[in-house]
Chain A
Amino acid sequence: MIIQISAEFLIRFHLCLSVAVFLVPAADYSKFSHATEKHGAACSTCHKIPTKDWTKTSPFPDITDYPDHAACVSCHRAQFFRGAKPPICSVCHSKTSPRDDVRFTFRNPATKRQFTIEFPHDKHQDVIALLRFAHPPQNYNNCTICHASRTVTFKTAPTDHSSCFNCHWKSQAPDAENCNGCHKLANAPYVTAELPSRISSKFIHDGGGERKQHVAECTTCHINITKAASLRGLKPDVPITACTECHNKVGARQDLSKELIALAKNHAFVCSYCHSENVGSRDAPASHYLIAERPPITRKDIK
């Protein structure tokens, strides 16, 4: 059977092909995505835990470096030997040179996060935070295992595996080889907010006067943390009552009431006992008026 192809068809076909090639973007090998279908294998296919030289950079066994070349070359041989400075090298290497194997810090802090973190506070409270009727001195603040002080004001959140692997290294699921037990591929790469937004930025965890009365059990104020099964939607969740039990007591301090009285007289008054100016110049929420037993008003209502 003979198929006749006209010259016109060939020209049209060639034109279509050219347009198609133009429209489909060329792969950018300088960017690595775990979301790429072929990168969806088990984590241990590329990442070995612990990294063989972990003692050089970490005080505990961990993944401390990028996978070896073998993890990439098996599929990307062509990209490895393309030109003098193959773009694929720049995923891990800060310099693209065969004479220099220096790599970015692992994980590269300049790149977006590709995985979310799963952490059920409720389960961890159950097993870590049980210390009832213990002999004095009682240490209830087991939260500090993961949330140590960053400054006197705020606590840190874990940024590495140091507070995970002491229990989850092996045996205790999800163990260190089961990355997916805690890390789920995000819908899109994202940048983490370094700090959660703070409403009462003048609060100091280690404060509370000479007797440091703010140093309490964490869950006394963070009342919703023990029911949190996920990090999603998690907020610091400190109700105003946690503050006003001391800061707005009849016969004692009246810090909230004083400011609401001042606000009622001057619509430009900035609540500054707890808040910075950006928060303190807003309308006070209804909860504050309720505690102070005053009718709620807005700044617009104040002459």
Chain B
Amino acid sequence: MRLVLFTILLMVAVVMAQSQQPPRQTGVLRLRVRVKADDSSPLRGLARKRFFLIPGTLEQNRAVVTAIEQQPLTTRDCYYKQHGASAALINWLKEGDCESVYCRSIEHDFVTGSKAVPEFAIAFAKGQSEFGHDEIAREWLTTNLSADLRDGFYRDRQQVLTALLKQGDAGIVQSVMTDRNGTAYFTDLGPATYVLSNVLPTEIGQTLVTWNCEVHVKAGDLATETPYVISNRKDRIVKCVGVEKPMPVCAAD
């Protein structure tokens, strides 16, 4: 009986020992995005922009990269003009470089008075009758805006993004957003080659910039490593320069 018990315990121990995998070696990619709005402007960090890391080389991701490069371009202003946004709303978005109405709080000045944005004033009035409370009507103002003006631009871009990333068979695509210094970290990466891309072009000054860069991550690469710098201008520290295209003419103009 003891022998049987001992044998079982031994077998369990052997199976457990075999099932314990060595820890997966991973690396970190420290990204820094530095851009110039025009030649006279200083280089500065591109804040709050999402970047993607697609597994595989540029060649392996040729279909995705080609689709990214050839996608029809729509600018933020163009989208809002096409959807009938007032000039005041477009200016309000521009002031904060906002892509949607959610990116900054809507202050009282923009709801009533001379600086009022017409869409906000209408939504505010609806909220007043719905909630019977001015402060809730203002703070919850977006709930009374039309879907197109509220987050239509974001949803459109998400649809394009999803469609573009489906072009390839790249596996799990990581994405992170840059901080105010234009820095972002991709963590827990398996050692491999990746394509670093913003997928959707970024509006910088009067141009749209797209990055598709091949990066190599080694096991043990750390957050302390020299950052991988990308830009829209060539420089000695820049590892990858984005492709700039002029802003397309908006059909609504």
Which A residues lie at the B interface, using CB under 8 A?
Answer: 59-61, 122, 125-135, 138, 140, 142, 165-172, 217, 219-220, 223-224, 226-227, 239, 241, 290-291
**Residues of chain B contacted by A165 (CB below 8 angstroms):** 140
The reply to whether A166 and B100 contact each other, CB–CB distance below 8 Å, is no
- Assembly CA distance A249 to B62 (angstroms): 43
Chain B residues 9-61 with CB under 8 Å of chain A are 37, 46-50
The reply to whether B224 and A171 contact each other, CB–CB distance below 8 Å, is no
The reply to whether B136 and A60 contact each other, CB–CB distance below 8 Å, is yes
The reply to whether B96 and A134 contact each other, CB–CB distance below 8 Å, is yes
**Residues of chain A contacted by B48 (CB below 8 angstroms):** 129-132, 140
Select B177's contact among A126, A169, A170, A290, beta carbons within 8 Å: A126
Select B222's contact among A61, A217, A290, beta carbons within 8 Å: A290
The reply to whether B147 and A171 contact each other, CB–CB distance below 8 Å, is yes
Which B residues lie at the A interface, using CB under 8 A?
Answer: 37, 46-50, 95-100, 102-104, 131, 136, 139-140, 142-145, 147, 150-151, 154, 174-177, 179-181, 183-185, 187, 222-224
Q: Which residue of B lies closest to A162 (CB)?
A: B139
- Assembly CA distance A135 to B92 (angstroms): 12
B164 CB to closest chain A CB (Å) equals 16
The reply to whether B100 and A172 contact each other, CB–CB distance below 8 Å, is no
Select A166's contact among B49, B140, B177, beta carbons within 8 Å: B140
Given contacts A219-B177, A220-B181, A227-B176, contact A132 B46 (CB under 8 A): yes
Q: Which residue of B lies closest to A167 (CB)?
A: B142
Given contacts A126-B50, A169-B140, contact A227 B175 (CB under 8 A): yes
B154 CB to closest chain A CB (Å) equals 6
B75 CB to closest chain A CB (Å) equals 14
- Assembly CA distance A217 to B131 (angstroms): 34
- Assembly CA distance A168 to B49 (angstroms): 24
- Assembly CA distance A128 to B187 (angstroms): 23
- Assembly CA distance A12 to B46 (angstroms): 82
Select B187's contact among A168, A220, A223, beta carbons within 8 Å: A223
The reply to whether A129 and B143 contact each other, CB–CB distance below 8 Å, is no
Q: Which residue of A lies closest to B140 (CB)?
A: A166
- Assembly CA distance A126 to B104 (angstroms): 12
The reply to whether B143 and A171 contact each other, CB–CB distance below 8 Å, is yes
**Residues of chain A contacted by B176 (CB below 8 angstroms):** 223-224, 226-227
**Residues of chain B contacted by A171 (CB below 8 angstroms):** 143-145, 147, 150
**Residues of chain B contacted by A60 (CB below 8 angstroms):** 131, 136, 140
Select B154's contact among A59, A127, A169, beta carbons within 8 Å: A127
- Assembly CA distance A132 to B76 (angstroms): 14
- The listed residue with most B CB atoms (<10 A of its CB), out of A61, A126, A128, A140, is A126
The reply to whether B95 and A135 contact each other, CB–CB distance below 8 Å, is yes
**Residues of chain A contacted by B223 (CB below 8 angstroms):** 223, 239, 241
The reply to whether A172 and B177 contact each other, CB–CB distance below 8 Å, is no
Jot down 19 A-B pairs with beta carbons below 8 A, ordered by A: A60-B140, A126-B177, A130-B100, A131-B48, A131-B96, A134-B97, A140-B180, A167-B142, A168-B143, A171-B144, A171-B145, A217-B180, A219-B177, A220-B179, A220-B181, A223-B185, A226-B184, A241-B222, A241-B224
The reply to whether A130 and B143 contact each other, CB–CB distance below 8 Å, is no
Q: Which residue of B lies closest to A224 (CB)?
A: B187
Given contacts A132-B97, A167-B143, A226-B176, contact A172 B151 (CB under 8 A): yes
